[in-house]
Structure 1
Amino acid sequence: MVEITPAEHAAAVKVFGSRLPLAERYVEHLATSGMERGLLGPREVPRLWSRHVLNCAVVADLIPDSSRVADVGSGAGLPGLCLAIARPDLVMTLIEPLERRVTWLNEVVDDLGLQNVEVIRGRAEQVVGKVEVDVVTARAVSALTGLAGLTIPLLQGSGVVLAIKGRSAAEEIEKAAKQIRRLGGKETSVVTAGEDVLEEHTTVVRIVV
């Protein structure tokens, strides 16, 4: 079992509610097969809850009810699987180009019995027009200058991009501003999630298209 501190457990109860056992099973997958297959490094295991799973799951608060969500560059399911577990009302499409990651994601989705998740193998630009989504999420994919071109087109003219970022979020927005506007971004801002449950909140770049 991956150790969880009392503070992390309290936060996890608030975020996942009755679906906490699913989140715990997902974390076990990350710590075992996920690490073995190189989806994350051994150094990350002690901080899976705080730095990864809870950090991603709180973004669910920024997503409207029953949204169709595409997660670009899903990798180990961060944030895609965290959102699918926290919010069974969301219809999640995980987009990931690497076959070994897709295989792992499908195994985890099957094991957890997540009915609201589809995994697509491909690059984001190959999927444009093939999925209908209201929200696009991404984490640790690329700087906003590159990420804008991977995420905004998936919305086909209407919706919201939620990109989990760090302290350099405002700086990234500045650098990518022209490109975001050119792609149809109407309003770009830095928002936060999880202030009421996490010791360190999650910083998100929100682009309204």
Structure 2
Amino acid sequence: MLEAAEAVFGDNLDLARAYVGHLASSGIVRGLIGPREVPRLWERHVLNCAVVESLIPRDARVADVGSGAGLPGLCLALARPDISITLIEPLERRVTWLEEVVQDLQLGNVQILRTRGEQARDQLGGVDVVTARAVSALTGLLDITLPLLDGDGQLLALKGRSAQAEIDKAQKKLKRWKADRTEILTVGQDLLDEPTTVVRVSL
């Protein structure tokens, strides 16, 4: 696990450790993470999210919708200091926690918006990439996330085994949004026992 973490986070490995420390302490106390998740925070959550960085272009503007405990947004910010990322989260207690963590880690490439994804465009402007994990099935997620893209760009939705079924159900919505390409990608095969499944929707 250390080898994978070093490969993904590089010079920011100590910051990633500090973030996991926040998840395992105040993140549990304040209800952002379940206590049973502590033994698998690195593999199932932090690294599972961070390996998605390989799909993000250099210097991209990224919006993470429904950030919650910073998964995947903070993981990506730590893995990729070159990107600028906005964490979009409507719940005040989660926003407060995210602000405390970002301040503690002194992450200059992160901003936080307390709003719903579908209402963030006016405050945010367009971005290159939108990410989401455990927010909604793809059919609902498209309406929340695709308006944030700057006319073109990509949605990276972290999904599980239901990925193909969700794409099948979302066909009408994908056509309505004129999505050029929808594909299922697997990332982190060389680092994780269970690689990450991502649905990429390109405009």
**What TM-score does the superposition give when structure 2 sets the normalisation length?**
0.98
Structure-2 separation of matches of 1:176 and 1:170: 10
Q: Which residue of 125, 134, 139 corresponds with 1:140? A: 134
- 1:19-58 to 2 correspondence within 5 Å? 19-58=12-51
Pairwise CA distance, 1:129: 3.5
1:168 partnered with 2:186: no
Which is further off, 88-97 or 178-187? 178-187
Contact 2:128 2:150 in 1 (8 A): no
Deviations 1:62-103 (A, max 9, x none): 000000000000000000000000000000000000000000
Pairwise CA distance, 1:206: 0.2
Query: Identity, % of aligned pairs?
Result: 64
Which is further off, 194-203 or 64-73? 194-203
- 1:97-116 to 2 correspondence within 5 Å? 97-116=90-109
Contact 1:153 1:183 in 2 (8 A): no
3-state SS of paired residue (2:25): helix
3-state SS of paired residue (1:145): helix
Q: Which residue of 86, 91, 108 corresponds with 1:93? A: 86
Structure-1 separation of matches of 2:28 and 2:178: 38
Contact 2:70 2:98 in 1 (8 A): yes
1:187 partnered with 2:181: yes
Contact 1:129 1:154 in 2 (8 A): no
3-state SS of paired residue (1:70): strand
* Partner of residue 193, structure 2: 199
**What TM-score does the superposition give when structure 1 sets the normalisation length?**
0.95
Name the amino acid aligned to 2:105: L
Pairwise CA distance, 1:183: 1.9
Contact 1:56 1:202 in 2 (8 A): yes
* Partner of residue 75, structure 1: 68
Structure-1 separation of matches of 2:162 and 2:138: 10
Structure-1 separation of matches of 2:121 and 2:142: 13
Ranges in structure 1 where 5+ consecutive residues have no aligned partner: 1-7
- 1:143-154 to 2 correspondence within 5 Å? 143-154=137-148
Pairwise CA distance, 1:125: 1.0
Q: Structure 1 stretches (4+) deviating beyond 4 angstroms?
A: none
Ranges in structure 2 where 5+ consecutive residues have no aligned partner: none
Structure-1 separation of matches of 2:89 and 2:178: 24
Name the amino acid aligned to 1:154: L
